[in-house]
Amino acid sequence: MVNSVHEAGARPAQWSSRFAFIMAAVGSAVGLGNIWKFPYITGENGGGAFVLVYLACIAVIGLPLMMAEVMLGRRGGRSPIGTMERVAASEGRSQGWVGVGIMATLAAFLILSFYSVIAGWTMPYIVSAASGEFGGISADDTGALFEGLLASPGELLLWHSVFMGLTVLVSAGGVRHGLERAVTKLMPALFVLLLILVGYAMTTGHFGEAAAFLFRPDFSALTAEAVLVALGHAFFTLSLASGAMMAYGAYLKKEVSIARTSVVVAIMDTGVALLAGLAIFPVVFANGLEPGAGPGLIFVTLPVAFGQMPGGSFFATLFFVLLLFAAWSSSISMLESLVSYLNEKGVSRVKAAIGGGLVAWLVGITTVLSLNEWSGFTPLDMFARFEGKTLFDLYDYLTANIMMPLGALFTACFVGWKMKPAHSAAELGGWHRLWYPVIRYLSPIALLIVFYFNLK
Ligand code: PHE
């Protein structure tokens, strides 16, 4: 039982190739986190120093953890909850470790509820772009357009419902055919389009300023809170501590190298985030906009850039369509933890996807309302840390800054201290010697330090 812990015939569907897994994992990783969230949190946290901390978090904690999760997933061959159950049992460890799988599934579920609302924003933008509304538009006008959208619960609810429906649709049909086929085409297209946008950004005359903002660290702008945000985002953007990579790892063939594949996924994910920054900040500076504008950043700035480009309506439409697809291939992976678990318990995929999607949709309504009617409802004001945070802000904070780092810590402790090294080595091959000390010592210590500075 050194190589595997599952019985014959119990293995679920598999990706058809290493390429398919990479595209699915990249599809999960690349999403709103890269194109929407990364630029705006970088803007809010002062630029360069934040980016550097973020890159360090990806390399030292994110990547080793991704390898750990894919490894656990492939070894357990089940849903994240089922996988933790099995692997803990086969290692002779307490079933308490199943908590890691439960928390991951919960985090993914909570993320899905608000992710769907934001992904929904792309759809009215597709409509506006396609109808040529962005032609020559000013930053003031795009700002008004965006605020108008957020102020309208009905419109937000409509697009949130459509997006959740799309997610359920693919999830119900099984990941392999629909998703595998879609991501292998869409991810490369997104990459090319981002490069075109960076090319445009270079012509704004503010590219140098943007590059300096992103890459010249000013450590005086860095706070302990910013380090936590960078760490949380490293998990969020790589889809870690949410079961997604564990669930996808369960469908990975034995002969594929987990380490090399994870490196490719992490590099592509980071590349897309940096490219998004290089596409967006030149436009921000060229139009005298505020880099710390928050969640509206790309929805206000990019239409201005498109509005001035030749063929802008076309590219804008394409961009928001691709952003929608990037979000879609991520949201499916969020639902996978729960759907695969329910499926194991005998619920059909269709029922599991519809049921899970429905509850996430209901919870998502509280995010819709946080943006308008309930924008003054900040229930945890009595704690300084949560002051002024709406429900939506709280979901985001709770998942990215608390649940994910905690889940990561427990996962690192499990594979670094509770699992027999021979077992992880059997999955990771030659990379194990490098990976093991990192996940055993470096990752948990780094995580504890960040926690310490944020809790004291
Ligand atoms: N990685 C995705 C993004 O950056 C978000 C995600 C989080 C996806 C958790 C799956 C699980 O948009």
Q: What are the tokens at 248?
A: 């996808």
- The secondary structure element, H or E, covering residue 432 is helix 432-437
- As given in the structure block, the two tokens for residue 302 are 């990019």
Tokens 């086969």 appear where?
A: 90
Structure tokens at 258: 């987990």
Task: Check if 242 has its Cβ closer than 6 Å to any atom of ligand 1.
Answer: yes
DSSP-derived secondary structure for 167-200: HHHHHHH-SHHHHHHHHHHHHHHHHHHHHHHHHH
CA-nearest of 168, 155, 169 to 120 is: 155
399 in contact with ligand 1, CB cutoff 6 A:
no
Give the count of domains, the chain.
1
CATH code, 425: 1.10.4160.10
**CA 106 – ligand 1 centroid, Å:** 14
Question: pLDDT at position 193, please?
Answer: 85
Asked whether 244 lines ligand 1 (CB < 6 A), one says: yes
Does ligand 1 have an atom closer than 6 angstroms to the CB of 330? Answer: yes
The model's pLDDT over 339-363, given as tens digits with 9 standing for 90+, comes to 999 999 999 989 999 999 999 999 9
Residue 157 CA to ligand 1 center (angstroms) comes to: 21
- Closest residue CA from atom 7 of ligand 1: 239
Question: Following DSSP, what letter does each residue of 202-233 receive, concatenated?
Answer: HTTS-HHHHHHHHHS--GGG--HHHHHHHHHH
Which of 294, 300, 289 shows the shortest CA–CA distance to 389?
294
Q: Whose CA is nearest to atom 10 of ligand 1?
A: 239
Please choose from 269, 333, 399, 404 the residue to mutate so as to test ligand 1's pocket, defined by most ligand atoms within 8 A of CB.
333
> Which atom of ligand 1 is nearest to 269's Cα?
4
With beta carbons less than 8 A apart as the criterion, state whether 259 and 67 touch.
Answer: yes
Q: Residue 365, class by beta-carbon neighbours within 10 Å (0-12 exposed, 13-18 middle, 19+ buried)?
A: middle
Q: What is the pLDDT of residue 101?
A: 97
CA dist 288 and 282 (Å) reads 10
Q: Which of 337, 351, 343 is nearest to 172 (CA)?
A: 351
Rounded to whole angstroms, how far apart are CA atoms 29 and 39? 16
Atom of ligand 1 minimally distant from the CA of 32 = 12
CA of 264 to the centre of ligand 1 (A): 17
Mean pLDDT by 10 residues, the chain (456 residues): 40 75 90 93 92 95 96 96 97 97 97 97 96 92 94 97 95 74 78 88 90 92 88 93 94 90 95 93 86 86 85 86 90 94 94 97 97 91 88 93 92 97 94 96 91 74
Q: Report which residue type is found at 326.
A: A
Q: Ligand 1 centroid to 236 CA: how many Å?
A: 5
Q: Which of 26, 28, 245 to mutate to test the pocket of ligand 1 (most atoms within 8 A of CB)?
A: 28
Q: Which helix (H) or strand (E) holds 373?
A: none
Q: At what angle do helices 98-130 and 297-308 cross, to 10 degrees?
A: 30
Which residue's alpha carbon is nearest to atom 11 within ligand 1? 239
- Dihedral, 50, 52, 58, 61 alpha carbons, nearest 10: -90
Residue 327 CA to ligand 1 center (angstroms) comes to 8
194 lines ligand 1 (CB under 6 A): no
| Alpha helices per DSSP H over 63-175 | 63-76, 80-90, 98-130, 139-150, 153-173
Ligand 1 pocket, residue 113 CB under 6 Å: no
Mutate to test the pocket of ligand 1, among 322, 330, 331 (most ligand atoms within 8 A of CB): 330
For residue 330, how far is its CA from the centre of ligand 1 (angstroms)?
Answer: 5
Ligand 1 neighbourhood includes 62 CB (under 6 angstroms): no
Range of the domain at 36: 4-455
Q: How close is the Cα of 131 to the center of ligand 1, in Å?
A: 30
**Residue given tokens 């990806």 in the structure block:** 58
Distance 398 CA to ligand 1 centre (A): 15
CA distances from 327 to 29, 254, 387, 447 (A): 9, 29, 29, 28
Report the residue among 236, 238, 335 best suited for mutation to probe ligand 1: largest number of ligand atoms under 8 A from its CB.
236
Q: How many Cβ atoms sit within 10 Å of the Cβ of residue 13?
A: 11
- Sequence length of the chain is 456
Q: Which of 197, 149, 148 is nearest to 305 (CA)?
A: 197
31 CB near ligand 1 (under 6 Å): yes
Ligand 1 atom, smallest distance to 236 CA? 7
